[in-house]
Amino acid sequence: MEDVLFFIAAIGAVVGAIGVIALRNPFYSVLALVSHLLSLALLFLLLEAQFVAAAQIVVYAGAVMVLYVFVVSYVGGQGEPLASVGPGLGGVGLVLCIGLFVELSIAILGSGLHAIDTDGAKLGPGFGTPGQIGQLLLTKFLFPFEIASFLLLVAAVGAVVLARRRRGIDAPDEPLPPRDRLELTAAEVMRIPRAGSQAESIGLGQEEKEEQGGW
Amino acid sequence: MSPTTWAWICLALPLAGCLFNAFVGRHLPGERTAGWIGTLAIGLSFVAAVGAFIALMGHSPDDRTFTSTAWDYADSVGVNAKLTILIDPLSVYMMLVVSGVSALIHLYSCVYVWKDRGFVRYFAYLNFFVFSMLLLVMAGNFVPLIIGWAFVGAASYMLISFWFRRTTATRAGIKAFVINVIGDVGLVLGTYFIVFRGSGSLDFLDTFKHVQAAFPPNDGDLVAGCILLLVGAFAKSAQVPLHTWLPDAMEGPTPVSALIHAATMVTAGVYLIARMHPLFEDATAAADVGTVVGCATLVIAATIALSQTDIKRVIAYSTMSQIGYMIMAVSASAYAAGMFHLFTHAFFKALLFMAAGSIIGAMGGEQSLDKMGGFRRALPFTFACFLAGGLALSAFPLFSGYFSKDDILALIGGEGGWHWILYVLGYLGAFVTALYTFRMIFRAFLGPECKEARELRETGHIAHHEHPFNPETYEEEDTDVGFPGPGHYIAEQQWPMKVAMSTLAIGAIFGGLIQVPFVDDLVNVYLRPDFVNDPTYEKVINDPSNGLLIFGLILSAVIAIGGIGLAYVIWVRRPSIAVAFRERFRPLYELSFHKWWFDELNDAVFVRPGATVGRWASNVFERVVIDGLVNGTVSVVRAGSSVVRGAQDGFLRVYAALLLLGLALVALWFLLQST
Amino acid sequence: MTVAWYLVVSALIFCVGAAGVLVRRSPLVILLCLELMLNAGNLALIAFSRMTGTGDGQIFAIIVMVVAACEVVVGLGIIVALYRRRLPIDVDQLRRLQG
């Protein structure tokens, strides 16, 4: 029974993963990833990690993927044009990754770690329960726990800073060049309009002197 | 004081004069103070040389060799080089000649370059030359010899191209220097063969002592070394085939020609052979080479002088010819005779050059005999000096050249065997000498007066041309730095020139009296300590061949008078004979006029191929190989860097690919490690 | 199934995600592939945690999830900013480095 479930979950995960990379429309890719995450949760359950499985579904599939869906619908799910202006890494990439997989498999299966050929150690009673997770988080891994929360705070603030507008909701910030083949500098991408670019802030770039507004 | 102390003083004074003039001369008050100071330095140097002479004579004849070392240059790797001077009769003899004649020439120069912008530079160079020459003759081992040798070459170059804006002068300077360098190389290589393959010591006295032990007679190494020394001697003394620089060296000021290219530098080769006589006694093959070359030169140079029209070049070829006599003499072991001729030649040749300077001044810078004539009444003193010098040069009886040239030829004849050919050629050369010398004198002083002579005689003014010109090519010049100054001077009007020329004339006339056959032989006796072990010398001293000597005296007199008479007939009485002769024997005339085509030969064999190689090297080798290598390296680096640059092009996926590739390789490494 | 199977599945998903990063050009999809790789890592962690019997691996996996969330937030913020500026959402065209 366990083996059957394992195979179902494993195949689901792999199919989902392949779906992510193979589907043209990013919307479909997101959905494939959701299915992949659900399969993965099942695999976690098979490994006796109940809390993590639940967290996976609730947090990852539930929150993060929903966020993804929002952004995909905002940005628009236009498919990629097939012609690529950059290096065509398609064939090379696949070959490289197949090679990587072969290498990793050899490493795993040929490793001297005998324990991986077993089903695992004998488990104590509360293995994988929220109680044990909570205990570990608040005793042994308190510091990473606090850092992780701090990281979440930083990310939230960063997201707000990145995506906000300055002026109005529907007025465009400035007349922009048309959206087609265009080369950009990262500075232009990151620039906060009328707040000065990074270059200006360190003294280079004297073109826009009249825009003195800080924020 | 000991002879060596006097010698150091004699050596130091010209150097002091040179440095003083070089650094301070420009700021001295008065127009010619630097000149007087230079002359004073050499005059005092002559006094010191006399002091050395007297001190030397104060010792017994067996004890007249002194050395003195100033410092060690180097003492390692089997080489022990010191700054040593060797004072013995030979070197003091040369010191006296060099400093004495130089002092007179300095005096003459105070007038000759008076208004020249390079007046101070001239005297600095001239003093430097005297210092170098004294270093050369005083050298006690090969190191100061080579140093002095090189320095006199450098001084010669500096003085030949003294008027450096004249292209002909700078070319002549380079030509002289290049040929001198060939001689320098010969000298240094000769030193290598003799010292490092033989005696092991750079010191002269040591080398001479050990030469018999180190080398069997006519040993290959020794002969090679001596022939290389001869190459040096020939280059410096302008013997065939390294003689082509001397006529061109007449581009320098006339006193320079008098000093360097008549009296002193060109005699360095003669001195070298005399100094190295133990080596040449042992390597008779090399000595024979020297004799033959000397004889060949004296004949060739005499024939060339017969057709030249530039007055200074006639005297230059005459120098070459007379030095041929000297080289022939010292190579054939007639050392004292050769040195005696060196002494008399210094006087009469310097006198001839000074007189030539006077007449050139009277002509306003013109040097061609074709344009001169009839100066006898306008320049009486110069004429008298020319006569004195010319008679001495032609070996007219009782003048100095008569005794010295005769001494040489008698000793050459006395050797017997194939030396009889040299004997005959020597007298033939003497005949031609008389001929060309008086050709020059009669053409310049007798005959119809040229306009400069008439103007000078009538008004006492020296002719001036509208603008200065190059006497060779007649190009226009100016009188600023690098060209001759505007002043033209004649001896009749300038007392320093008169004093110098009179002193030399007295020497030219009476100088031979120190070694008259059957009466006295001061030179032989004086130089004897130097050549004590030399068999020929002893033979000469003890048993001169009387018969040959008397025959030679009479023959010389006949030849000299005959030559002068013939010159009178041709160039005074019937000039048409000369023209007819030229037409009738055109090839001979051409051979003589084109200087036996040595210049053209050198050009074809050395200069043109050299220039072609240089052009090839510059256009092909430099551009293709060297630049190709350098630029090729640059382009390889550029190509490599542009390849590497591709990794930084901004494509995110490429970065990710490289990252994954690196990960895979690291994993592979660890995988392989663990197996 | 022994632990090795889970590890092999994890390696497979990782490689699929890496291939996706190399092949796709839309930054959205590249971020999704990054998620794949992170999940593969999570699976390996949980497998090892099961193997050793301690809960450390699971904690690590939770932290990884937190980091993944933060990273997605920031990445999507960039993509939104790109879209606002009417720039092409194509990683190959956004390649001029600063300076």
Q: ipTM of the assembly? A: 0.92
B650 touching chain C per CB within 8 A? yes
Which single residue is written with the structure tokens 């092409």? C88
Q: Where are the alpha helices (DSSP H) in B161-267?
A: 167-191, 204-214, 220-237, 245-248, 254-258
- Contacts of B494 by beta carbon, 8 Å cutoff, 6+ apart: B111
Among the listed residues B157, B175, B433, B233, the one whose alpha carbon sits nearest the alpha carbon of residue B314? B433
- Residues with pLDDT less than 50, chain B: none
Give the bridge partners for B42, in sequence order. none
Q: Where is B67: in which H helix or E strand? A: strand B66-76
Which residues of chain C lie closer than 8 angstroms to B660, CB-CB?
18, 21-22
Which residues of chain B lie closer than 8 angstroms to C22, CB-CB?
653, 656-657, 660
**C: neighbours with 3+ CB pairs under 8 Å?**
A, B
Among the listed residues B447, B445, B439, B442, the one whose alpha carbon sits nearest the alpha carbon of residue B582? B439
A159 touching chain B per CB within 8 A? no
Q: Where is B520: in which H helix or E strand? A: none
Which residues of chain C lie closer than 8 angstroms to A184, CB-CB?
87, 93-94, 96
Give the bridge partners for B79, in sequence order. B76
Does residue B329 contact residue B267 with C-beta atoms inside 8 Å?
no
B664 touching chain A per CB within 8 A? yes
- pLDDT band for position A95 (cuts 50, 70, 90): confident
Output helix, strand, coil percentages for chain C, rounded to the nearest 5.
75, 0, 20
Among the listed residues B382, B311, B364, B371, the one whose alpha carbon sits nearest the alpha carbon of residue B484? B364
Structure tokens at B510: 């009476």
**What is the average pLDDT across A24-48?**
93
Q: What is the pLDDT of residue B646?
A: 75
Asked whether the whole model's pTM tops 0.90, one would answer no
Does the distance separating the beta carbons of C92 and B660 come in below 8 Å?
A: no
Q: Smallest Cβ distance to B664: which of A87, A100, A110?
A: A100
3-state secondary structure of B486: coil
B654 touching chain A per CB within 8 A? yes
For residues B210 and B205, give the distance between their C-alpha atoms in angstroms, rounded to a whole number: 9
Among the listed residues B241, B239, B125, B119, the one whose alpha carbon sits nearest the alpha carbon of residue B173? B125
Per DSSP, B521 falls in state: -
For residues B670 and B673, give the distance between their C-alpha atoms in angstroms, rounded to a whole number: 5
Does A84 have pLDDT greater than 70?
Answer: no
Does A6 have pLDDT greater than 90?
Answer: yes
Q: What is the pLDDT of residue B285?
A: 87
- Contacts of A11 by beta carbon, 8 Å cutoff, 6+ apart: A39
Q: What is the pLDDT of residue A194?
A: 53
B24 touching chain C per CB within 8 A? no
Q: Residue A104's closest chain C neighbor by CA?
A: C11
- Contacts of B293 by beta carbon, 8 Å cutoff, 6+ apart: B230, B234, B239, B240, B324, B327
For residues B191 and B214, give the distance between their C-alpha atoms in angstroms, rounded to a whole number: 14
Q: Smallest Cβ distance to C91: which of B648, B649, B653?
A: B653
Does residue A36 contact residue A13 with C-beta atoms inside 8 Å?
yes
- For A25: left if phi > 0, alpha if psi spans -120 to 50, otherwise beta; the answer is beta
Which residues of chain C lie closer than 8 angstroms to A117, CB-CB?
2-4
Calculate helix-pair angle for B380-393, B419-445, nearest 10 degrees.
170
Does residue B395 contact residue B556 with C-beta atoms inside 8 Å?
yes
CA distance C20 to chain A (A): 5
> For the stretch A79-118, what's the b/e string if a residue is b when 16 or more beta carbons lie within 10 angstroms of its beta carbon?
ebeeebebeebeeebeebbeebbebbbebbeeeeeeebee
Q: Where is B160: in which H helix or E strand? A: helix B142-160
B463 or A60: which leads in pLDDT = A60
Average pLDDT, chain A: 79
Which single residue is written with the structure tokens 């004495």? B100
Does residue A62 contact residue A81 with C-beta atoms inside 8 Å?
no
Which of A77-86, A118-127, B348-357 comes out lowest in average pLDDT? A77-86
For residues B657 and B663, give the distance between their C-alpha atoms in angstroms, rounded to a whole number: 10
Give the bridge partners for C48, in sequence order. none
3-state secondary structure of A118: coil
Q: What is the pLDDT of residue B345?
A: 93
Does residue B82 contact residue B71 with C-beta atoms inside 8 Å?
yes
Q: What is the pLDDT of residue C69?
A: 93
For residues C8 and C31, give the distance between their C-alpha atoms in angstroms, rounded to a whole number: 23
- Residues with pLDDT less than 50, chain C: 99
A200 or B45: which leads in pLDDT = B45
Does residue B322 contact residue B349 with C-beta atoms inside 8 Å?
yes
Q: How many CB pairs under 8 A join A and B?
A: 34
Q: Which of residues 73-92 of C touch A (CB under 8 A)?
A: 73-74, 76-92
For residues A101 and A107, give the distance between their C-alpha atoms in angstroms, rounded to a whole number: 10
SS (H, E, C) B400-455: HHHHHHHHHHHHHHHHCCCHHHHHHHHHHHHHHHHHHHHHHHHHHHCCCCCHHHHH
To probe the interface with C, which of A57, A67, A69, A71 has the most C CB atoms within 10 Å? A71
Which residues of chain C lie closer than 8 angstroms to B649, CB-CB?
95
Calculate helix-pair angle for C27-52, C56-84, nearest 10 degrees.
180
Q: What is the pLDDT of residue B116?
A: 85
A188 touching chain B per CB within 8 A? no
Q: Where are the alpha helices (DSSP H) in chain A?
A: 2-22, 26-46, 50-55, 65-75, 90-109, 130-138, 142-163, 186-190, 198-201
Does residue B93 contact residue B32 with C-beta atoms inside 8 Å?
no
